[in-house]
Structure 1
Amino acid sequence: MAQPEMNTKPSLSKVKEINVFVLLFAVLAIAVVLTYLIPAGEYGRVDVNGRSVVDPQSFQFIESSPVKPLGLVNSVHTGMEEAAGIIFFVLIIGGTFGILTATGAIEALIVTLSRKLQNQEKWLIPIMMFFFAMGGSLMGMAEETIPYIAIMIPLAVALGFDAITGAAIVLVGASVGFTSAIMNPFTVGVAQGIAELPTFSGAAYRIAVFAVMYIVSVGFVYRYAMKVKKDRSHGFFGNFEGKDASELLRGDIVLTTRHKWILGCFVVNFVVLAFGVIKYGWYITEIAGLFLLLGIVIGLIGKLSSNTIVESFMKGASGVIAGALVIGVARAVVVVLNEGHILDTILYYAAALINEIPATLTAFGMLVLQTVISFIVPSGSGMAALTMPIMTPLADLVGVTRQTAVLAYQFGDGISNIFIPTSGYFMAGLAIAGIPWMRWMKWILPLILLQYGIAIAAVVVAQLIGYGPF
């Protein structure tokens, strides 16, 4: 996507990221060591309405079977095999988004909305944040939001706001969507599949969470933006000091009829997806097939050649390859715990530890744990692959519904997207804006606390009402 010159390269070169694979291999090594330290044990499993459930009275210690050092590297291949369905699901959807990007429909929609809102600055924040929130909640937009930061910030500056406002519209907006994850295939889709829940079940409750998170977040950003507009000395402009949106808004990018047809197909795709999931119980195979069909259709409507469609698909898939591989490596940790027969032992001691506290506090504990793990595994689908095989049986043991456990995972993953320094796309976004991480944290900390307050209330209420179906 062509962007106006913003002198972002120097800042991008300064970004220091903690490689997620290094962290995961460290966790994997620790897991291998634990197989020598923790006694082996196992629960019996019983089938309840077609799903495997732990029998809480069946735990017994068994002969120790520690994983050999070579098992550390062997487990990665095994993890990739076990998670193959999810990995290819992520790659196919990423490829479809690559085709959508190649048609220029999303870029044209963003620029057109920006032009229309140029002289109506009060509507810029709620409308554009809603767009990115829906993108995060329905499509899992994360890395895909980075190019739009270079569009939104000069527009925000031109309208009397600052770089933080422009970056927040994109980053906070997408985070609200990821946190609610109404139909996000990369997060709630993967997590519910592992938890053996119906795909995208419980959406009504997540819509309510989306509404609350969206209103609070928009109010926070809007209040700050108006403060800057009243007195620019309160603002921070980073790489965009003195920039405006004139070059961008006078460009030749327009929302054509062809673009509208493409966007219309995208909307229809989600309607068909929802119908298929509810009516026929579609899971990742059918959803991946539907997205692949969508990619072909929008490519043809966008008059892309067959070669361009394939190349765009490959480019989109390559953009999510790191996240897809994270899923496999995260699964390797579970493989080691299972091969060493200590996963059930960990569950046994964890259940004994928290069985004496109310289930509502147990759900809160799951949220805290998921938040901590998000620092190590910033990939949403990767974190689901790592944590849900543990959280699902733990939820069964301590009386927390599986749907609530998935909700705790969503909050732990989604809220952290706007502040953890291990998130590559988030740090890249700050680098484009020229906003130091500490400066961003000072600004956004009150909103983070508000969002976690909402999340805590939501998991407590979810447990109280038996948020399900189970």
Structure 2
Amino acid sequence: MNKKKKLEFPTAFTVLFIVLILAAALTYIVPAGLYSKLVYDSEMDVFVIEDQEGNTTTVSATQKTLDNLNIKMDISKFKDGSIRKPIAIPDTYQRIPQSPQGIVSIIMAPVQGIMDTVDIMVFVLILGGIIGLINKTGTFDAAIAALSRRTQGKEFFLVIIIFSLIALGGTTFGLAEETIALYPILMPIFIASGYDAIVCIAAIYMGSSIGTMFSTTNPFSVVIASNAAGISFNEGLTFRIISLILAMIITLIYIYYYAKKTQKDRRNSLIYEEMDKIEEKFLKDYDPDNVIPFDWRRILILIIFLVAFPIMIWGVSTGTWWFPEMSALFLAVAIIIIFLSGLSEKEAVNTFLDGAADLISVVLIIGVARAINIVMDNGMISDTLLFYTSSIIKNMNTGIFAAVQMLLFSILGFFVPSSSGLATLSMPIMAPLADTVGISRAVVVSAYNWGQGWMAFITPTGLILATLEMVDVTYDKWLKFILPLMGIIGVFSIVMLVIHTIL
């Protein structure tokens, strides 16, 4: 008698293609529409307005022009470069001819998505090459052994430190994609400490997600959103800091109980059946009985690699670096490590290429995820969703207004995953609605940030599928872990928003 084949959850690629097809289907159902857009031309010192048919006109870049267009923003925010992306002009939404995305568009979108995200892909591949080199030298194994001896009996302090540092990076400058480099480094340490892969993902991914969700000074989200709403980002800052701290505590408590449960008995792990395979991948060269000396060469390699991260953070936080500069930094680090490794030229180059090859599936997932957004953008439905959602919340009770806004922004965040893109598109439309119900526009900024960040816990168009692919955990297992916490954080955020409306 044949044994019945066990049903398995589909791979990340299949999940993304299912979402891609659903997104294309929406372009047949949701009416196409656009707002007129305004962008500042710094060379000519004029505003350029583009209408729904693509026609452009220029108008003088003055405060009076903004007032006449009902854009409640200070002209200085355009001239000092705070607002660079096109702004949606209130009360200009118009239906346009439907632009449904058919089978050809669905097939082309992943190719276009890969082309659009090639800068991120290069960054990830270079990191993969570096990880391969460092693994080959035995540096990680030696560091794991040393760290395991020092943290024995107090392993959760490592989770707290990593989570808190990443959350700090998320809340200040939007640390997110950069954390992909940390999984190959930290996974062996967590596994050697008795935790499963989900604890490692939670410490890194949720550190970034909670930090970016409850952003305090992140220039790519809360600062741009505040500028686009016509207020200073300092407005509501204290409240956002308090909310961030409370959300971090809630998340750490949740991770702690899961971590202790799995550490006590590995059968309590949500990925118990996959743990042997994951341990084989990340601990294949790690032998606790064969202690590799953490000598000067390995210490120097690790220091050079780790020093690159604060340099990267400095470059990104100053606004002068992005993925090309980060890739160049880590390529320089790779070259230095090759010289320090003691490997032959051929062995070093092949090791680097093998390490990069290990992350091919990760970079392809990043490109396919971008394809979903391309299909929705080409279908011209994002502005329509914004128009409908803004219509829903007019003249609501203040508390309900704030709560519903967060939920609506979580939906919009799926269709417009760029934090700065959603801010510049939605704030000129959404922020003035706060005036109609008599609350601060800072509440709308928080609702935008928290709604988009909350959906990022699970949205396939974000980083989560690339993350799970890197550590060999399926999406359904992540959902089982994160959905209870997502519910807790969602209720907490709504309560805090209601409190915000009465302060």
Q: TM-score range by the shorter chain?
A: 0.5 to 0.7
Q: Show the 5 A alignment for 1:141-290.
A: 141-142=182-183, 145-153=186-194, 169-180=199-210, 215-219=249-253, 236=268, 248-279=287-318, 281-290=320-329
User: How high is the TM-score relative to the length of structure 1?
Assistant: 0.66
Shift of the 426–269 alpha-carbon distance from structure 1 to 2, 3 Å rule, reads: closer
Q: Show the 5 A alignment for 1:344-363.
A: 344-357=383-396, 360-361=402-403
2:455 is aligned with what amino acid?
Answer: G
CA distance in 1, matches of 2:24, 2:312: 41
The question of 1:26 aligning with 2:26 is answered: no
Once the two structures are TM-superposed, the CA of residue 55 in structure 1 deviates from its matched residue by: 1.4
The question of 1:45 aligning with 2:79 is answered: no
1:317 alignment partner in structure 2: 356
Give SS of 2:39's match. strand
Q: Show the 5 A alignment for 1:380-395.
A: 393-395=425-427
Give SS of 2:38's match. strand
The question of 1:82 aligning with 2:112 is answered: no
Shift of the 225–283 alpha-carbon distance from structure 1 to 2, 3 Å rule, reads: closer
Give CA-to-partner distance per residue, 1:255-304, whole Å, 9 cap, x none: 22222222322332223223333446222221221122222223333334
Once the two structures are TM-superposed, the CA of residue 114 in structure 1 deviates from its matched residue by: 1.1
Q: Which moved more, 1:109-118 or 1:302-311?
A: 302-311
Return the match for 2:455 from 394, 412, 420.
412
CA distance in 2, matches of 1:88, 1:205: 38
Shift of the 322–227 alpha-carbon distance from structure 1 to 2, 3 Å rule, reads: closer
2:158 alignment partner in structure 1: 127
1:170 is aligned with what amino acid?
Answer: C
The question of 1:55 aligning with 2:85 is answered: no
1:109 alignment partner in structure 2: 143
Task: Check whether the contact 2:34–2:380 (CA below 8 A) recurs between aligned residues.
Answer: yes
CA distance in 2, matches of 1:224, 1:20: 24
User: How high is the TM-score relative to the length of structure 2?
Assistant: 0.62
* Runs (5+) with no aligned partner, structure 2: 41-77, 79-83, 168-174, 213-217, 228-232, 277-282, 432-442
Give SS of 1:47's match. strand
| Higher-Rg member (1/2) | 2
Q: Show the 5 A alignment for 1:369-384.
A: 369=411
Task: Check whether the contact 2:210–2:453 (CA below 8 A) recurs between aligned residues.
Answer: yes
Shift of the 314–458 alpha-carbon distance from structure 1 to 2, 3 Å rule, reads: farther
2:407 alignment partner in structure 1: 365
1:185 alignment partner in structure 2: none
| Aligned-residue identity in percent | 24
Give SS of 2:155's match. helix
CA distance in 1, matches of 2:493, 2:448: 12
Task: Check whether the contact 1:408–1:459 (CA below 8 A) recurs between aligned residues.
Answer: no
CA distance in 2, matches of 1:219, 1:270: 28
Give SS of 2:346's match. helix
CA distance in 2, matches of 1:103, 1:115: 20
Shift of the 85–212 alpha-carbon distance from structure 1 to 2, 3 Å rule, reads: same
* Runs (5+) with no aligned partner, structure 1: 1-12, 154-164, 183-187, 374-382, 431-435, 466-470
Shift of the 424–168 alpha-carbon distance from structure 1 to 2, 3 Å rule, reads: closer
> Alignment length, in residue pairs?
408
Shift of the 424–333 alpha-carbon distance from structure 1 to 2, 3 Å rule, reads: closer
2:101 alignment partner in structure 1: 67
2:179 alignment partner in structure 1: 139
CA distance in 2, matches of 1:101, 1:464: 54
User: Which has the higher relative contact order, 1 or 2, with Cα contacts under 8 A spaced 6 or more apart?
Assistant: 1
Task: Check whether the contact 1:421–1:427 (CA below 8 A) recurs between aligned residues.
Answer: no
Once the two structures are TM-superposed, the CA of residue 82 in structure 1 deviates from its matched residue by: 2.9
2:440 alignment partner in structure 1: none
